[in-house]
Structure 1
Amino acid sequence: MSTQTISARPLVSGLSGEKSASRIKRSWKKVLSRRKPIMIGITGFVILGMAAFYFWGNQTSSTQYMTARVERGNLRNTVTATGTLQAVTTVQVGSQASGTISALFVDFNSVVHKGQIVAQLDPAVPKAQVDQARANLQLANAGLQQARATVTNSRAGVSDAQARGLAAKSTVQNNQAGVSGAQANLAVLKAQQDDAMSYLKQEDSLLRSGVIGQRDYDIAQTAYRTAEARYNQAAAQLSQAQLSEQSASGAGIAQSQAQVEQSQAQVQQSQAQVGQAQAQVLQAQAALKLAEVNLAHTTISSPIDGIVVSRAVDVGQTVAASLSAPTLFTIANDLTQMQVIANIDQADIGLVEQAKSVKFSVDAFPGKDFDGKIQQMRLNPTNVQNVVTYNVVIDVGNPEQKLKPGMTANLTITIDERNNVLKVPNAALRFTPQDATGQKTGSGTGNANGQGRRRTADNANGADNSSSPQNGEGRFAPSTAPVLAGQMRAVWVLGADG
C-alpha cells in the first residue's frame, strides 16, 4: 500500500502542516501493524461460512428421517368426554303452603332423616282456618240433628193420621151397625103395627056385632096408633143412621187418608232435609280436613335420609306457593354412591356401548383416577348448535366422600385394550417416503406417477398379500382407522437400498 501526503488544513489551530503530516503517517503505521490479526479473523469467518453452507446445503437436498424405537407395551382405544358429578337421588324440598318462615332447623351440610322437621312456616292463619272449619262442622251436625228430629215428628204425624183413619173407619162401622139396628127395630115396629092393625080390625067387627063395647074398640085403636107412631120414629132413626153412615164413610175416611198422605209427604221432606244436612256435614268434614292439611303443610319435613346440599330461604322470608312450590332445600340422598352424567358425541356413542372400563379425574385431585361403571345410556338426544350428544349415566363409588356434587369429571372410556404388544408410533403409519426426485412413493411396484414399493405381510402360504385383492386388501386396515380383529397394519420400512 502506497503512502501519499494529504495536504489539508491543520486539525488544530496553532499546528503547522509538517506536524500534521507526521501525525497522519504515524496513524497509518499503527493500522498496518494490526493488519495481520484482522486478516486471520476474516479468513476464519469465511471458512466457517463455507462449512456451514456445505453442511446445510447437503441436508436440505437430502431426505430427513425421524426414528423411533419399536417397543412392547400396552395399547388402549379410548373415548374422552366430560361430565358432571351428582348424587344418585337429589330431592328439592319445597312448600305447598304460603307464609312466612318462622324457624329453620337445618343448614348447609346438615345430616337429616326421613320425617325430620327442617323448617316451620307461621301457622296462625291455617290454625284460624282449622277452628273455623270445626265450628262449621258443629253447625252442620246440629242441622243434621234438627232434620232428624223433624223426620221423627213427621213420622208421628203419619201415625196420628193413620190412627184417625182407623177411628173414621170404626165410626163408619158403628154407623153401619146403627143402621142395621135401626132396620131391625123398624122391622119389629112394623110387625107390631101390623098386629095392632089386625087387632083393630077385629075389634071393629066385634063392635059392629055388638059383642064388645066402644071402650075396647078405643083401646085397640090407641094401640094401633101407638105402634104406627113407633114405626114412624124407627123409620126416621133408620134414615138418620144411614145419613151418618154415608157421611162417615165418605168425608171421614177421605179426610183421614188425606191427613195420612200429608204426613207422609212431610216425612219425605224431612228425610230430604236430613240428606241435605248429612251432605253439609260431609262438606264441613272435608273443609276441616283441608284446613288441617294446610296446617300440616306449614311444617316442612325431609322426605328422605340424606344431607342438605343447599338452602334457599332465611327466617322471616315470605314464601309464595300460589303458582308453583318454591324450593327451600336441596337434599342429596347418599353421597357415598354418586353418578356422572357424561355428554358423549354421536360419533362415539356406538363405541361407548362396547366400553370395558371407565376412569375419570377431577381438578380437585390432580393425578388421581377414579373408577366408574356405565349404568345407563339414555336415548334422548341433546342438540346444541347442531351438535348431537347423548347422556351416559356412570355409577361412581365415593366411600371417602372426596367427590362433591357439581364437580367436572374428565372421563376416559376404554373401548378396547391390548397388553404386551409391539408399539409403533402413529406417525410411522402415516409416513410416505420420497424417491430421489423428491416425489412421494406409494404402494405397488412403481409407475410414472412416482409411486414406489411397499413391503407387506405374507400369509401362512408364503404368498404376497398385496398381489391378490381377495387375500390382501381386505386384511389391511386404513391408516386413519383402528385395527379390527383379523386385520393388520402395513408399516413403511427402509430397504437395503435406503
Structure 2
Amino acid sequence: MNEHTIPTSETSRKLAPFSANTPIKRALAARRLWLVAGAAILGVVAVVGAAWWASATRGTVRYATSPVTRGIVARAVTATGTVNPELTIIVGAAVSGIIQELYCDYNTQVKKGQVCAKLDPRPYQTVVDQNKADLAVAKAQLEKDKANAAYTKLAFERYANLIQTHATSQDIYDNAKNSHDQAVAQIAYDEATIQLRQAALDAAQVNLDYASIVSPVDGTVVSRNVTVGQTVASSFQTPTLFLIATDLAKMEVDANVSESDIGGIKPGNKATFTVDAYPKRIFEGAVNQVRQSPQTVQNVVTYDIVIGVDNSDLALRPGLTAASRIVTDERKNVMRVPNQALRYSPKDLSRAAPPDHTRVWVLRNDAPVAIAVATGLEDDSFTEIVNGDVKPGDLVITGEQLSTVNKAVGPRL
C-alpha cells in the first residue's frame, strides 16, 4: 500500500477529536465569541444609561435669602402683668354697724370729704350724749368745790387773825387750814375729772363721726363691696367698703419678671404692652420701679416691676391683663442681619467656613460666599453686624432647598 492510502474508519474516529477544523470546535468558539460580545454590549448600555439618567435628572439648589438692612436691634424681656390705677385708696369702716345709707356707687366721681356711706349712728349718738352729761356733772362739781374752797379760805383767814391774839386754840386754826387745803385739792381733782370726761366725749364723738364714711381723696369709685342693711364688723379687721382711684388718667402695669431676666431691667427702661381689649393697639410706657421683694410660687421666683403709662383717653381699665415687653438694651441705625443667617451652613461641608469664625453666607454671582463678621447686640429677630465685608442690600442666605427637575419624562402611551 502506497503512502496515500486512506486510513480506516477506526483510525479516523480516533484522530477526529484532535482535529482543529472539526465542526464542534468551530461551534463552541462561535458561542464564546457571542457571549463576550453580548456582555460588552450590556456594559456599554449600562454606562450609557447611567450617564443619560444622570444628565436627565438634575438637582437644583434654591437659596432662601434676606437683605442686609439698617435699623433697630433691641433686646427685650417679656412679662405678664395687670393694669392698675397709679394710686388706689381702700376706704373701710373704723367702727361696726349697719349700713343705713349709700351715697356712692361704681364710677361715682367723689371729692375729698364727700360722704359715701352712713352707718346707723344711734348707738354712738347715745354714747356721746352720756359723755356730755358726765362732763356737765364734772363741771358742776367743780363749781361746787370752788364755792367750798372760797368759804374755807375765809374761815382759815379768820382763824389766822384770831390765833395771833390767842383768841382761839391752835387746834381750831389747824382744822381750818386743813379744810382749806382739801378744798383747793378738790378743785384740782375736779379739773382733772373734767378733762377725763372731755376726752371720753371726744372719743365718742369720733366714733359717731366714723359712722359717716367719707372719701379721703378726689377720685373715682372703682369698687363697692357693701349694700344697704349690711352689717359691717371692724372688731378684728377693717372691712373694705370702697376702692377709690385717685386718677384714672395715670395707670401702671404690675408685671412679674423671672429671676433670670430681672438683672437687665432698670428704672427708666422703655416698655410696651398690649391688652386683649385692644389687640391691635400697642401702649407705651417706662419702668418706674423694680421692687426688691421676691415672690415664690411653686419654687419659681419672680420680681414685681411697675410700668407707668399715660391713660389720658381712659382706654385702659383696672384689672386688664397686659402682655409686656421691656427693652433692656437698644441699638439704633445699625447694620443687621436675620438671626437665621448666622445659623445657616451649606450642606456641602467642603465649602463651610472654619468653626472658629462667625460668618454669614452671601449670595454673589448666584453662588454662596462665606463672609467672616463680628456681631454685637442680638434680639429675637436680628443681630447687629459690627464689622465684616457686608453692606446694606447684600443678600444673606438663611436656608436652602434642593429641588429635583426630571428632563427624561416623555409622553405616556
- TM-score above 0.5, yes or no: yes
- C-alpha deviation, 1:435, in angstroms: 4.3
Cα–Cα, structure 1 residues 436 and 148, in superposed 2: closer, same or farther, change >3 Å? closer
Three-state SS of the structure 1 residue aligned to 2:278 is coil
Three-state SS of the structure 2 residue aligned to 1:381 is strand
Deviations 1:438-493 (A, max 9, x none): x9874269xxxxxxx96425xxxxxxxxxxxxxxxxx6569999968967799997
Q: What is the correspondence of 1:279-318 to structure 2 with a 5 Å cutoff? A: 279-318=192-231
Deviations 1:124-159 (A, max 9, x none): 111111110011011111211222222222222212
1:328 aligned residue: 241
- C-alpha deviation, 1:119, in angstroms: 0.5
1:14 aligned residue: none
Contact between 1:343 and 1:391, CA under 8 Å: does it hold in 2? yes
RMSD: 3.5
Deviations 1:83-133 (A, max 9, x none): 211111100111111111000011111111111111111111111111100
Contact between 1:443 and 1:454, CA under 8 Å: does it hold in 2? no
Q: Which amino acid aligns with 2:149?
A: V
Partner Cα distance (1:444, 1:304) in 2 = 65
Cα–Cα, structure 1 residues 483 and 386, in superposed 2: closer, same or farther, change >3 Å? farther
Cα–Cα, structure 1 residues 262 and 405, in superposed 2: closer, same or farther, change >3 Å? same
Residue identity over aligned pairs, in percent, reads 36
Q: Which runs of 5+ in 2 are unaligned?
A: 1-52, 358-368, 399-413
Contact between 1:76 and 1:418, CA under 8 Å: does it hold in 2? yes
Three-state SS of the structure 2 residue aligned to 1:396 is strand
Q: Which amino acid aligns with 2:77?
A: V
Q: Which amino acid aligns with 2:201?
A: L
Identify which range, 383-392 or 266-275, moves more after superposition: 383-392
Q: Does 1:276 align with 2:276?
A: no
Q: Which amino acid aligns with 1:140?
A: A
- C-alpha deviation, 1:313, in angstroms: 0.5
1:391 aligned residue: 304
Partner Cα distance (1:112, 1:288) in 2 = 30
Q: Alignment partner for residue 163 of structure 1, among 136, 158, 161?
A: 161
Three-state SS of the structure 2 residue aligned to 1:369 is strand
Deviations 1:358-399 (A, max 9, x none): 221111011111111222222222232333322222111111
Deviations 1:235-271 (A, max 9, x none): xxxxxxxxxxxxxxxxxxxx53322222111112222
Cα–Cα, structure 1 residues 436 and 368, in superposed 2: closer, same or farther, change >3 Å? closer
Partner Cα distance (2:66, 2:387) in 1 = 23
Contact between 1:354 and 1:415, CA under 8 Å: does it hold in 2? no
Identify which range, 98-107 or 66-75, moves more after superposition: 66-75
Q: Alignment partner for residue 265 of structure 2, among 352, 355, 361?
A: 352
Three-state SS of the structure 2 residue aligned to 1:429 is helix
Q: Does 1:79 align with 2:77?
A: yes
Cα–Cα, structure 1 residues 68 and 290, in superposed 2: closer, same or farther, change >3 Å? same
Q: Does 1:369 align with 2:282?
A: yes
Cα–Cα, structure 1 residues 455 and 372, in superposed 2: closer, same or farther, change >3 Å? closer
Q: What is the correspondence of 1:229-240 to structure 2 with a 5 Å cutoff? A: none
Partner Cα distance (2:377, 2:275) in 1 = 35
Contact between 1:432 and 1:442, CA under 8 Å: does it hold in 2? no
Partner Cα distance (1:320, 1:355) in 2 = 44
2:121 aligned residue: 123
1:20 aligned residue: none
Cα–Cα, structure 1 residues 356 and 277, in superposed 2: closer, same or farther, change >3 Å? closer
1:141 aligned residue: 139
Query: If the length of structure 2 is used for normalisation, what is the TM-score?
Result: 0.70
Contact between 1:110 and 1:308, CA under 8 Å: does it hold in 2? yes
Q: Does 1:456 align with 2:372?
A: yes
Contact between 2:120 and 2:211, CA under 8 Å: does it hold in 1? yes
Three-state SS of the structure 1 residue aligned to 2:66 is coil
Q: Does 1:341 align with 2:339?
A: no
Identify which range, 121-130 or 64-73, moves more after superposition: 64-73
Q: Which amino acid aligns with 1:91?
A: I
Deviations 1:50-70 (A, max 9, x none): xxx999x987xx9x7652222
User: Which is richer in helix?
Assistant: 1
- C-alpha deviation, 1:79, in angstroms: 2.1
User: Which is richer in strand?
Assistant: 2
Three-state SS of the structure 2 residue aligned to 1:330 is strand
Q: Which runs of 5+ in 1 are unaligned?
A: 1-52, 170-254, 446-452, 458-474
Partner Cα distance (2:356, 2:255) in 1 = 46
1:8 aligned residue: none
Cα–Cα, structure 1 residues 302 and 489, in superposed 2: closer, same or farther, change >3 Å? farther
- C-alpha deviation, 1:324, in angstroms: 1.8
1:404 aligned residue: 317
State the number of aligned residues: 329
Partner Cα distance (1:401, 1:480) in 2 = 33
Cα–Cα, structure 1 residues 103 and 54, in superposed 2: closer, same or farther, change >3 Å? farther
Three-state SS of the structure 1 residue aligned to 2:166 is helix
Partner Cα distance (1:479, 1:135) in 2 = 80
Cα–Cα, structure 1 residues 154 and 424, in superposed 2: closer, same or farther, change >3 Å? same
